[in-house]
Amino acid sequence: MSNLTYLTAQELRAKIGSGEISAREAVMASLQRINAVEDEIRAFLTVATHEALEQADAIDERRAKGEDLPPLAGVPIALKDNMCTTGIRTTAGSVILGDFIPPYSATVASRLEAAGAILVGKANLDEFAMGSSTENSGFFTSRNPWDTERVPGGSSGGSAAAVAAGEATIALGSDTGGSIRQPAAFCGVVGLKPTYGRVSRYGLIAYASSLDQIGPLGHSVYDCALQLNAIAGHDPLDSTSANIAVPDFTAACGGDVKGLRIGIPKEFFEQGVSAEVAESVQKAIEKLQELGATVEECSLPHTEYALAAYYIIAPAECSSNLARFDGVKYGHRTNELAGHIGLTEKTRDEGFGDEVKQRIMIGTYALSAGYYDAYYKRAQQARTLILRDYLAAFERFDVLATPVVPTPAFKAGEKADPMAMKLADVCTLPINLAGVPAMSVPCGFVSGLPVGLQLIAKHFDEETLFRVGSAYEQATEWHHQHPTL
């Protein structure tokens, strides 16, 4: 069953549908792989062995009865552990939710189950999705399968590492400022941040509600399209979910890029991007040009304000969202104090890590009387200018192409300076501020470490990303390379 480890979801689903293998065999291969490499990778906070095998047997029973199987039937999936799953521990990577077992499932979890995907485990993340390396997890740091001394990225580092290591065929992450695309690039897999509102956030433990968006990771562009087909669409349980038609995203895969206009924002090559990463991305852009696209440099002039605006808006929203963790209704509760105020303070002190505390304090300060106009209001004004840059660019171009991250994966502990860590997201977080969709596609290696090409499209035009991403993928071999463990 080891030969199943690096099959794509498309390939695995075809084998299950034809009866060449059973869903149980597919899940057992995933669980055996987890058992073999998890001590090195540490991608999972919870492995759902019993539940996964039960679901697999149910799929096999349906096949035995001659029933039509759903599009992801029997495909093992990892969910980032900030998505609620009924009866399965959901921690958001935080001690404060270390023993939390939700009574309900996130909409994306329910939709994937309906599509036949089988949950093999909950993946590690930076606490409450605040970080770029999983080093901020309240439990342990995940490792990059290409070099276990290096981080897998964050905050969806466990999800990306699980796919890259062959522990799960596909995965979901969440992306607030690059948290799907950055780990996808670091781990050499495909990752998509959909348009804000394309996918329901119901059951996602919130970090910054105007920025968070759930999206897929996989070995191929097509695998991400399969997942987006399953999870996209309006959800009455999420007031920010867009009531807009959902196309068949897999139909966009396999097309050509002839005549497509690709813009190259110059600011994204000036953000401390290493020469080697820039070269890999430029070669990828040249390949798209060879395939028939037209390429032209452009400018997104307000990009320089994105980092500062993001680190006011996101902490402000986190300050509000995380106020609910007070030790009263659910989650960790201190045993040391009795009075209500003392209970809340001590519970939060014990339950939150340093990065989360820092962002709560920054956000609370930015929203406080006398500082709201000076910080939060101005950050939102900068956000509007950034959005206008993208709207103007998409009047001229079908897609924008940039690096995902300035460097390849860094070593654990290398970016102890918080500012250095935040700069790792400089190419991704403007996209969240604008709310547009973006994809990371493997485009090369630097010193044996993967590099990602970032493709950006206008609102609700994920189809163009799948079209361009799959065309590039089919013309190159990067996605066929896997780490040796």
Catalytic residue IDs: 80, 155, 179
Radius of gyration of the chain (CA): 21
Q: Is 287 exposed, middle or buried (0-12, 13-18, 19+ CB in 10 A)?
A: middle
Say if CB 133 and CB 157 are below 8 A apart: yes
Q: Which amino acid is at 437?
A: P
Residue of 197, 135, 196, 189 whose CA lies nearest to 167 = 189
Say if CB 289 and CB 295 are below 8 A apart: yes
Q: Is 42 left (phi over 0), alpha (psi -120 to 50) or beta?
A: left
Measured in whole angstroms, the distance separating CA 163 from the mean position of its chain's CA atoms is 12
Say if CB 422 and CB 182 are below 8 A apart: no
Tokens of 415: 């970016």
Helix (H) / strand (E) element for 456: namely: strand 449-456
CA distance 424 to 273: 10
Say if CB 296 and CB 423 are below 8 A apart: no
Distances (CA, A) of 55 to 26, 43, 108, 118, 317: 12, 22, 17, 6, 37
CB atoms within 10 A of CB 458: 20
CA distance 407 to 326: 38
58-67: long-range contacts (C-beta < 8 A, 24 or more apart)? 59/16, 59/23, 59/116, 59/118, 60/22, 60/23, 60/24, 63/16, 63/17, 63/19, 63/22, 63/23
Tokens of 348: 């939060």
Longest dimension (CA), the chain: 69
